[in-house]
């Protein structure tokens, strides 16, 4: 990082109470994916040079180290919540992919203590060797039935890619991309007003959901952006996987294009909880995560995404979210993350708080890298 970038990061004005939002993200988290997402968000906020979105996320082509005296704040907060005595990183009898949301943090902790690396190895083995599969080979989001949720693309492909860097295993990184593709093959909507967006849930249970849940599209898009940044940030995969990078850029762009096309709640300025369905309220969580994705892509592929279509839109969505963050770090209205089809919004969403941190960090990095104007 250059000194000017460091200075910009240190003095950045997020326009909302970012420390209060961080407190909510950390204090409200109780599920595996909430812990993993909050830790990711805190890392991007506090230690951006350790994130896969850093200019050099893998110094010397290696996973970044942990200080012998002091762990990184995100790692210190989350590492004791990671299970190290089972085949998955969190005790979960319902979900397949959710415990893997802790995978990147397990690998980072493992740079200090081998027990966490051993746990990450078992989590990887469970995903690839034991987890139920959908008919096309996609790893199921659930244990009881083979079912695909857009959420899963943020949970396990970023871990597989990151662990692939740790193991210097190109095939594992390629599998992360293949899994994203298998999910897209089933969930992506190919025509009509919602084309490019993803269905939320496809599978045999009564939870199947043909709608395009804004948070689900955000999970998928930001998850693929993390995989993409991992690939382009590690020199060997960047050299060998340019085709996969282009594919991921396209798939992320499809979702962003769909979100922009269905962005029609002029009163709130937010994306609707279900995109393309004007019966739904404008909602902060999905809006924040998709805006954050646009900022990340503007830095990763400025020739395509650092354009008014994406950045002007992201600025508007960010402002709409930021103005709804109160002094306690709550944003309203947010969808109930455990009841995605509820018509009753809430303000105390754990993942919603993490998404706001991700959006803010992505915007800051876009500004501090000289891509976004500072006054937008």
Per-residue pLDDT 10s for the chain (376 aa) are: 456 999 999 999 999 999 999 999 999 999 999 999 999 999 999 999 999 999 999 999 999 999 988 999 999 999 999 999 999 999 999 999 999 999 999 999 999 999 999 999 999 999 999 999 999 999 999 999 999 999 999 999 999 999 999 999 999 999 999 999 999 999 999 999 999 999 999 999 999 999 999 999 999 999 999 999 999 999 999 999 999 999 999 999 999 999 999 999 999 999 999 999 999 999 999 999 999 999 999 999 999 999 999 999 999 999 999 999 999 999 999 999 999 999 999 999 999 999 999 999 999 999 999 999 988 8
Torsions phi, psi for 221 (to 5 deg): -70, -45
Please tell me the CATH code under which domain 3-368 is placed.
1.50.10.10
- 10 Å CB burial of residue 94 (0-12, 13-18, 19+) is exposed
Secondary structure (3-state) at 266: coil
Task: Please give the helix or strand (H or E) that residue 202 lies within, else none.
Answer: strand 201-202
C-alpha 164/C-alpha 321 separation (Å) is 35
CB 217 within 8 A of CB 149: no
Task: Please give the helix or strand (H or E) that residue 368 lies within, else none.
Answer: helix 350-368
Task: Tell whether pTM > 0.95.
Answer: yes
Distance (Å) of CA 182 to CA 83, 92, 152, 258, 356: 28, 24, 12, 19, 28
């Amino acid at each position: 990082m250059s000194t000017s970038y460091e200075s910009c990061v240190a003095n950045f004005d997020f326009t909302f109470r970012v420390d209060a939002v961080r407190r909510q993200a950390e204090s409200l988290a109780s599920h595996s994916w909430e812990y993993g997402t909050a830790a990711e968000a805190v890392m991007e906020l506090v230690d951006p040079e350790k994130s896969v979105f850093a200019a050099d996320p893998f110094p010397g082509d290696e996973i970044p180290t942990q200080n012998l005296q002091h762990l990184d704040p995100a790692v210190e907060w989350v590492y004791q919540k990671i299970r190290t005595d089972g085949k998955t990183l969190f005790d979960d009898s319902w979900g397949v992919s959710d415990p893997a949301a802790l995978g990147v943090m397990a690998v980072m902790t493992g740079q200090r203590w081998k027990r966490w690396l051993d746990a990450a190895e078992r989590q990887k083995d469970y995903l690839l060797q034991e987890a139920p599969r959908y008919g096309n080979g996609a790893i199921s989001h659930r244990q009881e039935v083979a079912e695909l949720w857009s959420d899963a693309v943020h949970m396990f492909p970023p871990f597989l890619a990151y662990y692939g860097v740790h193991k210097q295993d190109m095939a594992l990184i390629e599998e992360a991309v293949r899994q994203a593709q298998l999910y897209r093959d089933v969930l992506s909507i190919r025509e009509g007003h919602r084309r490019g967006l993803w269905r939320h849930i496809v599978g045999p249970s009564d939870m199947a959901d043909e709608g395009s849940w804004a948070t689900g599209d955000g999970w998928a898009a930001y998850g693929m952006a993390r995989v993409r940044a991992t690939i382009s940030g590690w020199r060997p995969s960047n050299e060998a996987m340019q085709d996969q990078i282009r594919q991921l850029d396209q798939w992320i762009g499809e979702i962003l294009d769909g979100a922009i096309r269905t962005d029609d709640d002029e009163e709130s300025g937010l994306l609707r909880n279900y995109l393309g369905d004007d019966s739904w309220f404008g909602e902060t969580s999905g809006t924040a995560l998709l805006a954050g994705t646009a900022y990340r892509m503007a830095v990763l592929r400025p020739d395509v995404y650092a354009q008014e279509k994406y950045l002007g839109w992201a600025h508007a969505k960010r402002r709409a979210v930021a103005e709804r963050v109160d002094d306690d770090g709550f944003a309203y209205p947010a969808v109930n993350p455990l009841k995605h089809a509820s018509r009753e919004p809430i303000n105390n969403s754990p993942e919603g708080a993490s998404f706001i941190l991700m959006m803010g960090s992505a915007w800051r990095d876009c500004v501090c890298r000289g891509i976004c104007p500072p006054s937008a």
